[in-house]
Homo-oligomer: A and B are copies of this chain.
Amino acid sequence: MQPLPPAESLTQRLADSGLRATPQREVVYSVLLRKRDHPTAEEVFARVKSELPTISLATVYNCLETLVQCELVRAVNFERSPTRYCPNLRPHAHFHDDQTGRTYDIDLPPAVLAEVNQVLPAGFDASSVEITFRGQARPAS
């Protein structure tokens, strides 16, 4: 079990960007933290509804986008399937199980990250790198 980010970081991060901590944003974020199974926007929508029955799908998209902007959440894209959302802030790759469709986080040691960045020729300045595996998973844990 990894340490979770402190709960107050949302309000903090939003404030840093001059944004407000609304109930919608808080619930969307808490839903992501509660069940870290890389839900789609629709899935987040369904989960948030039980707490905020009148929230709209557009708002869920807005909140998710805001959280991504604040760097509290990562948007994960796999092929052409709907975007999934991930509150894991540690450097990690994603593993997509072709059979089950489940997505797993794979921690990336700094050394590997460094080596991957080495492959860039002069003149290429990367602001981010995304590593995605596909295959079959039979995770131990």
Interface residues of A (CB under 8 A from B): 75, 77, 79-80, 83, 93, 95, 98, 104, 106-109, 112, 115-116, 118-140
Contacts and interface: CB of A to CB of B under 8 A. Distances in A.
A112 B123 contact: no
A71 to B, nearest CB: 14
Contacts of A109: 119
Given A112-B118, A119-B109, A128 B139 contact: no
11 contacts: A75-B79, A104-B124, A106-B119, A107-B119, A112-B116, A116-B116, A116-B131, A123-B139, A124-B133, A125-B136, A130-B133
Most B Cβ at <10 Å: residue of A98, A109, A130:
A130
B124 A137 contact: yes
Contacts of A133: 120, 124, 126, 128-130
List the 10 closest pairs (A to B, CB-CB), nearest first: A126-B135, A126-B133, A123-B138, A127-B135, A130-B132, A125-B136, A125-B135, A129-B133, A123-B139, A124-B137
